Each structure stands twice: as C-alpha cells, then as structure tokens.
Amino acid sequence: MSETTPLPAVGIETVGMTKVFGSLRALEDVSVKVRPGSFHALLGENGAGKSTLVKCIMGFYQPTRGSLIVDGSEQVVRNPRDAMRLKLGMVYQHFTLVPSLTAAENLVISRPDCPNVIDWANEIAGIGAFFDKMPFKVPLRVPVSSLSAGEKQKLEILKQLYLDRRFLILDEPTSVLTPDEADEILGMLKGMTAAGELTILMITHKFREVNAYCDEVSVLRRGRFVGGGHVAETSTQSMAHMMIGDTKLRERSARLKAGDDKTVLELAALYAVDDEGLPAIESIDLKVHAGEIVGIAGVSGNGQSELVEVLSGQRELEDGRIFIRGQPFEPTRQHMDRFKVFGLPEEPLKNATAPRLSVAENMALRSFDKPPISKNGWWLSPGPMRDIARDLIERYRVKTPSPDTPIENLSGGNVQRAVLARELSGEVEVLIVANPCFGLDFASVAEIRSQIIEQRNAGAAVLLVSEDLDEILELADRVAVMSEGRITYVSPIGDTNRATIGHAMAGGH
Amino acid sequence: MTVTSQTSGEATSGPGAILGFLDRIRVASEYLVIPLIALVATAVLFSLFLLVLGKSPVDFFDLLWRGGFGTAFSWQNTLVRASPLILTALCVAIPAQLGLVIIGGEGALVLGGFIAAIVALPFIGWAPFWLTMPVMVVGAVVAGALWIGAVGALRHYRGINETISSLLMYYIAVAIMNFFVEGPFKDLSNPNKPSTAYIGDGNRVGKIGDTEVHWGLVAGIVLAIALWILMNRTTFGFAARITGGNVRAAKAQGLAVGRLMVIACMIAGASAGLAGYFEVAAIQGKANASLAAGYGFTGILVAFLARQNAIAIVPVAILLGGIAAAGGLIQRRMGLPDATVNVLTGLMFVVLLVSETLYGRIPLFKQRGS
Ligand SMILES: Nc1ncnc2c1ncn2[C@@H]1O[C@H](COP(=O)(O)OP(=O)(O)OP(=O)(O)O)[C@@H](O)[C@H]1O
Ligand SMILES: [Mg+2]
C-alpha cells in the first residue's frame, strides 16, 4: 500500500441514530465511530439494539432520526442496494447461500452485474484468481449443502469480499462454529483489517473473541451507547459492567444431591434416518435418571439434531423404543402432557415458535387447550391467554413492546427467553435441551444454565445436547459422546476430562 | 433488573394510549388499502384494454355498476352469484390457515352437487322437503369433504403437492359426473342436455321473501361467521394456525399435524360441496355439466382478495358476484363477448398477486414512533 492511494477499507460513523418501533425505543441517540481498517466489536445484552443498529446502517430499517457518515461524507442509505454501492456488506447469523448450488455458482449469481448468459469457464477462472488473493479457501465445485458450517461461514465472508465490500458487518458470526473454526476465520479477517483492506464491525457475545481479535469496542445498553474504547485498555469486567450496568448476575444455582436414582428417560435402540433416507442415528441406548443432567457432546452433524428431533416428534422414529418411567412414550401431545416432557430446541424461531403469531400466542403453545385458556378443551379465551403471557413476560423478563407483538420482532435472545418461559414455568419431569445458549448474552446464559440446574435439582431428568464442551462440563452429571450417529462413550463427569471427551468426539474408541 | 422507561412511557396512558391506538389502526389499514390499490390498478389496466378494443371504459364501468349493483334486480342477481362464491372461497381460506393452497374447490362443488342430485333420486315424488333436503345436504357435504380431505391426506401422508393434486382431482370429479350423467343416471326425458332426473319442485330450496335470492346466501354467511369463529376462537383453529405458522414447532408441541390438515381440508371440501347442493337444489334442479360454471375458481380469487379471512370473504364475494352478474348486460349493450368479464377477473387476480409484494414496503404503514 503506497502513501498516495487511500486504503481500500471503508470507515463509518453513526450520528445520533435513533430508531423507534411503535412505543419501543430500540435505539436512542447512538453515535458510534468505526475507523477504516479496524476490527470493531459491538457488545450489548439481548435486545440492546445491536441488530437494529446494523440494520439501520445497511438500509433494512430507516432510522427515525440520525445520520450515517461513510468515509467522511454523510450518506443516506435507503435500502441494501444503496449500502452495496457504498461497499457496505453484512453477514447474517443464518446462512443465505443457495444450498443446491456450488460455491462458485453462489458467488456468480450474487453479483449485481451478473450477466444473463453466464460464461462459466471464464467466471470460474475469475473466481480462481480472486481466491488466490484470499487468505482462506473453500471447495468451489461441490454443492454448498455438503460444506461444513465453518466452510459455509467462510464462503459467506468470501462472497462479501468477492462483491468488493470493504466494510463488513458480522452479526454473531461464530455462533454456528466450533472454537477452532471461529479462531481460523477471525484470525484471517484480523489479518485483512490490519493490512487496511477491510473494516469489520462484529456483533458478538463472546468476550474471548473480543479480547483476541478486536481493536476497539462499543457497548449498547437498552438502545443507548454506554461506552467503549480500545480493547487493549478495557478490561473484560468493565465491558461486562457497561453491558448490564449494576444489575446483579444471577447466582449459579448450587448442584444438589440427586434425589431418587430412578431411571426416568430410557432410550432403547433408537434408529432414525436423515432427510436423504440415510441412517442418522443408530442403536442409541441411553438412560437418564431423575435429578440428572446427561450431556451429549459431539462434533456438529453426528446425529445430535436428529436425535432431538426424534425425541420432540419432528422426525419419525424408524426403530427402537422410548420409555418414560418404564412406560412407552410417543411424542404426542397427550404423552407430553402426561409425562411432563418439555423441550428447549436450538434455533427457537425455527423450531419452537410460529414467527408471525404474537408473543402471547406463542407462549400459549403448550397450554392453549387446557384451563384457564380453554376451560372445556375447545373454546379459546384470549383474556387468560394474554394474562398468562403478561405474567410470564414479567417473570422471565422478556423484552417485548407488548404481548401482541409478533414474536419474530423480538431480539434473538428474547425469543429464547419467551420459549424458556413457556417450557419451564410448570412442573417438568423430562427436559430435552439443545444448544440452549446460542446467541445469548452472558447474563442470559447464566440465567438459563441456572434454570436448567434448578430443574435438575427439582428432580427432572435432563438431556442436554450441546456443541459447547464447556457447557457440558459445567452442567452435566454424566457425559455421552455421539459420533457418526452412535453413542461411543459414556462417563460420569467426575471420571473424565476434556482431552478424553475430545478424543471420543474425534472418533477415537 | 429495574425496568426503566424504555418499554413503558408513551403507550401506557392518556394521549399516548389514543395515539398508540390510532397508530395500530394506521398499521392495520394496510390490509384494506393495498387490496383497494390493487382494485384501482385493475380498473386502470382494464380501461386500457377496452380502449385498445375501441370501447369506452366509462360505458363499461357504468354498465358494470348498473348490472351488478344499480337496481334491486341487479342486486338480487349479484347475491345469487355471491352465495356459491362465499362457500367456494371458504374452501380456499380454511386450508390456507395451515399453509395449504387448495385450488380444486370446483371439483368438490361439482361432485357435491352431483351426489346431492343422486341421493335425491329415491325420494323424488313422495318425500317431503324436510326429509329429502337433509339427505341431499349430507350427501353433498360428505362427498366434498372426502374429496378435498383426500387431497389433505395425500399431502400429509405421501407428500404430494396439494395445489396440483386438488387441480387434477377437479378434472377427475368432472369426469366422474359426466360419466354417470351421460350413462347410468341419464334422465331420458331430457335428451338434449345429459342430466340427472329433476329433483322435483318440492325438493327445491326456496327464495328469501319475494326476492330471487335463495337461502344459500344465508347459509354461506352463517358458515363464514362460524368458520371465522372456529379458526380464531377455538383450540382447533389455534392449533391449525400454529401448524400454518410453523409446522416444525407444531410437531414439537405434539400436535397431530396430519389430522389437522385432513380435517381442515374436509371442512373446506364440505363447504364447496354445500355450494354444489345449492346449485342443484336452488338453481339447476338437476346435476349436469352446468355445475362446472367456474364458481370454484372465482372462489380462489375471492379468498385471496379477502386475505383468507373468512368474514372478509362475504363482501368480496358480493363484489365479484356483481361483476359476474353484469356480464350479460355488458355483452348485450357493448357488443363485447361474455368472456370480457373473465378478462377483468383474471386481470384482477394477477394484479392482486403482484400487490402481495407491497406488504411491508409502504412507509405510511410501517411501525414507527409518534
Ligand atoms: N421490527 C421490529 N418491530 C418491533 N420491535 C422490534 C423490531 N425489531 C427489533 N425490535 C425490538 O427492538 C429491540 C432491539 O432488538 P435487536 O434485535 O436490535 O436486539 P439485539 O441487540 O440484536 O439482541 P440479540 O442479542 O438478542 O440479538 C428489541 O426489544 C426488539 O424487540
Ligand atoms: Mg440481534
């Protein structure tokens, strides 16, 4: 980079950005400056307004007040296309690639100037040349659906670079990645920002990533900018304090001695196939006792999500039996009620809610056919439904403008809370949990983990499927490792360690 | 955590509450204004079409008004046509709550009407209305329910696209009726147009008062209200809406998704079958090819214009009934072919589908602060 040409990286600044939804002030007078070539972290608890801020920058929302300065001059971004012209790009928490197309095809069709007749040989040569300049690669010619989560995330980022975006917003980019994958990607991006080729604004809940990769940090709390600065000069503790103010963190609930030792949940020789009809889980045998948390560890894609789907009734059980307290269980509504089976599935917006229905309606998913919402089993009373929702919203501190807001308008963390409130507010015998802390701020993580422990202490049998080994080590009484659709290793948590579990996860045994 | 002024503040009391209420009306009015825009756009496009044909749009819309709504007579004509439209639109709107797009309501109408005419045969000539009528209604309703219910079952248990299968089943329904009407059940006293035997004056459904409008209109309105209540105020409707909102979540709640789909489709088919009964018992007096008059297909348009809302279906059906009623007058006075009004309704459907993309794009209706 010579002195005369300006850096390709683009810098931005928001000035007094305010965004109001109905009666809710999601952003209030937020001024944040992101220097060109910096790696900037945006922190804040769930519902603080992080996504709203970046959506205003990208033109998905129009700010109620405030302006945006790009490379020193004020710009109006009316829609994402305007943002594209200003070389602003964004990688979403969820993948936006077309699964059935190859990486190369995904890149070419994403170009705004994509020709009507595509000269593939030429395009692929162009992409090859572009890839040669990039610090990381992905296979170009296989369908995206067969790439791993890490590769997909790399491809999402490569796509932005291919489109010549020089200011990249990453909304919780590592929540779907293993720590190793996250380190690889963030390390490479760090190199690009240091070289002045790119500016990054990253929303994250992980202090580890902020400390390891970011130069600067800005913190939002309840829609306001509450502080920030150089990461090197800011301790994790003070970042956390800026995020939640003087709020006390929920004390981690103490682990009580397990009650009776009876088997509550028993899985016997479960067999199920994936969407392509290939075996996804094979001869799964597992017992979970009352007052016990069994953690299922494993590298993503080894049958864990299929197992959860089978237990929650989203996937057909081809063979095998499920027993609860010795009686056969099928995931029907009657059985779920009789055996008090509850679940916290991963990606709650996709698995546990009807996104366009209101918060109140979503909170009633479990109870709409029982008193007091329905006294006789078929007539629905909206009054009690809303009252119950109000109570749950308050008890579980769900941030929502009103019980009638469509649940898809809530921030990611608050959707999770709403589901938690629905599933854990009654008496629980069996709890099926999958990656419950994806995308949650540290205060919510502490809260949810405490809730899970409390359910265990109250005698629930908890099956915890998690890709986060730390979570399993912290919560589980016993750990089981899943590999290629089978349980390959089971051990009480006291008799094992991270290395042994990691070895089993990698397919040893 | 202390909940501060962030969420409270404006909308809780005083003028804030009124403003909040007005704001909600403004946001909700999107569902009224966008269909109206679509209707106006249709009128403009159709006027261009008429100008190309060398006809006056002013004359056309004047005749449309007079033929559909201008006189007591045209109102009656309109309402007669609206009543099957309400019933066939319900056949679209109810499965739509579960995310199913059923376009074969015409098949259930045809089959329902045919079965009603068949089951009436043993009663003709001796049985009183109050004996024959329930038998015919049950026959029509059951036939329609099984027909569209099969579509729902195919969708859930075999993964067959309900839109395509319902359309194909419409052709089968017409073929079945034609086969029997031209064969085993052909009324030999009427050689010109193959039909079933006339059900007899005593088995016809009467008119309301001294109008031309038959009781099918009342049945349609009552059913529309009942189904609105079913979908919005009962646990069945709630479970159906969850299923439509997210099948995965519905399954995870242990809801019997397949059963819900089949039942919703059966209700839908029953409604279209009932339309068939009224076409036979109030209009035709027998089953023949005239049953397939296209009410089932216009009903799709009605349901979409009404945004699948059972109650909104009633006024929309009356509007489209009026357009259909004016067809004859327009044909005679302007020398335009009868199909002209079909062009109008077809155009309306296309514009309406395009207008779906407007939702959420008009800043006036966006959620914002005061
Ligand atoms: N379209 C919308 N309509 C109404 N309210 C909204 C809308 N989008 C966001 N909100 C509200 O604005 C607030 C901020 O949401 P936002 O998504 O920006 O939070 P976030 O900081 O990204 O949280 P998370 O970490 O949970 O993703 C939330 O209370 C949310 O309910
Ligand atoms: Mg967010």
Residues of B in contact with A247 (CB under 8 A): 1
pLDDT score for A364: 95
Does domain A12-244 fall under CATH 3.40.50.300? My reply is: yes
pLDDT of residue A79 exceeding 90, the answer is: no
Q: Which candidate, A241, A196, A242, places its Cα nearest to that of A218?
A: A242
**How many other C-beta atoms can be found within 10 angstroms of the C-beta atom of residue B60?**
24
Q: What is the mean pLDDT of residues A314-318?
A: 92
Residue type, A82: D
Q: What is the mean pLDDT of residues A481-509?
A: 87
Tell which one of A18, A21, A244, A447 to mutate to probe ligand 1, the residue whose CB is within 8 A of the most ligand atoms.
A21
Q: What is the mean pLDDT of residues A444-471?
A: 90
Atom of ligand 1 nearest to the CA of A415: 26
Say which residue, A136 or B107, is predicted with more confidence: B107
Q: Which structure tokens are listed for B287?
A: 């089953």
pLDDT score for A260: 64
- CB–CB contacts below 8 A, A to B: 109
pTM: 0.82
Cross-strand partners of A294: A463, A478
Does domain A263-505 fall under CATH 3.40.720.10? My reply is: no
pLDDT of residue A184 exceeding 90, the answer is: no
The alpha carbon of A47 and the centre of ligand 1 are apart by a number of angstroms equal to 5
CB contact under 8 A, A353 and B254: no
Which of B20, B239, B252 minimises the CB distance to A343? B252
Is B333 an interface residue toward A (CB < 8 Å)? no
Q: Going along A180-310, which residue ranges are E strands?
A: 199-203, 216-221, 224-230, 263-273, 279-289, 292-297
DSSP letter (8 states) at residue A317: -
Q: Which candidate, B223, B13, B175, B1, places its Cα nearest to that of A248?
A: B1
pLDDT of residue A247 exceeding 80, the answer is: no
> Which residues of chain B fall below pLDDT 50?
1-13, 368-370
* Ligand 1, atom 24: closest residue by C-alpha: A46
pLDDT score for A15: 95
Q: Which residue has the tokens 């009015």?
A: B29
pLDDT score for B36: 86
Q: Which candidate, B104, B160, B15, places its Cα nearest to that of A23?
A: B15
pLDDT score for B2: 36
pLDDT score for B6: 39
A19-23, A143-147, A252-256, range with the lowest pLDDT: A252-256
* Ligand 1, atom 25: closest residue by C-alpha: A46
CA distance A267 to A285: 5
**How many other C-beta atoms can be found within 10 angstroms of the C-beta atom of residue A404?**
14
Which of B6, B235, B245 minimises the CB distance to A222? B6
CB contact under 8 A, A365 and B11: no
CB contact under 8 A, A366 and B6: no
Q: Which candidate, B150, B156, B185, places its Cα nearest to that of B247?
A: B156
What does each C-alpha distance from A120 to A111, A156, A429 come to in angstroms?
14, 20, 57
| Domain assignments of chain A as residue spans, ordered by start | 12-244, 263-505
CB contact under 8 A, B368 and A20: yes
The alpha carbon of A27 and the centre of ligand 1 are apart by a number of angstroms equal to 9
Burial class (CB in 10 A: 0-12, 13-18, 19+), A131: middle
What does each C-alpha distance from A109 to A85, A103, A113, A167, B173 come to in angstroms?
17, 10, 9, 21, 44
Tell which one of A411, A414, A420, A438 to mutate to probe ligand 1, the residue whose CB is within 8 A of the most ligand atoms.
A411
pLDDT score for A509: 53
CB contact under 8 A, A354 and B6: no
Q: Is the dihedral of CA A253, A255, A260, A263 positive or negative?
A: positive
- Best mutation target among B3, B4, B5, B6 (most A Cβ atoms within 10 Å) is B6
Kind and range of the H or E run holding A88: strand A88-91
CA distance B112 to B287: 10
| Domain assignments of chain B as residue spans, ordered by start | 31-362
What does each C-alpha distance from B259 to B56, B252, B289 come to in angstroms?
53, 15, 33
Given a contact cutoff of 8 angstroms between Cβ atoms, the answer to whether B74 and B64 are in contact is: no
Say which residue, A446 or A134, is predicted with more confidence: A446
pLDDT of residue A82 exceeding 70, the answer is: yes
Question: What topology is assigned to B31-362 in CATH?
Answer: ABC transporter involved in vitamin B12 uptake, BtuC (1.10.3470)
Q: How confident is the model at residue A322 (pLDDT cuts 50, 70, 90)?
A: very high
pLDDT score for B267: 98
A397 by DSSP, 3-state: which?
coil
Is B15 an interface residue toward A (CB < 8 Å)? no
Is A295 an interface residue toward B (CB < 8 Å)? no
Determine phi and psi for A200, rounding to 5 degrees.
-125, 135
Q: Which of residues 244-263 of B touch A (CB under 8 A)?
A: 244-246, 248-256
CA distance A335 to A340: 8
DSSP states of B262-323: HHHHHHHHHHHHHHHHHIIIIIISS-BGGG-SSHHHHHHHHHHHTTT-TTTHHHHHHHHHHH
Residue type, A171: D
Q: Which candidate, B48, B49, B73, B56, places its Cα nearest to that of B330?
A: B56
